[in-house]
Amino acid sequence: MSGVGLIMAIIIGILAGWIAEKVMRRNHGILMNLVVGVVGAFLGSFIAGMLDIEFGGILGSLLVATAGAILLLFLLGLFTSRRRALH
């Protein structure tokens, strides 16, 4: 998350995780939302960098973190549903 401080990064992570949770129809707690949001921010930043997409500030960081968090939950959903199908 470029251009934001640590406290703002935590707030953005929680918000991104919460938005992703609602979009993907999951039910996590605030701590898991933070984890999903922060990991999603890293994932989203990595992908945005590879695609040469620039973002900055709070809104840009929130959008990229949310997109990354949604992608993360989607990929985790694929993994867990495959795992359940194998048992």
Question: pLDDT of 39-68, one tens digit each?
Answer: 999 999 899 999 998 888 889 999 999 999
When mean pLDDT is compared across 2-11, 22-31, 37-46, 62-71, the lowest value belongs to 2-11
Identify the pLDDT of residue 62.
93
Q: Model's pTM, two decimal places? A: 0.85
Taking the C-alpha atoms of residue 17 and residue 39, their distance in angstroms, rounded to an integer, is 9
Structure tokens at 20: 């992703």
Average pLDDT, the chain: 87
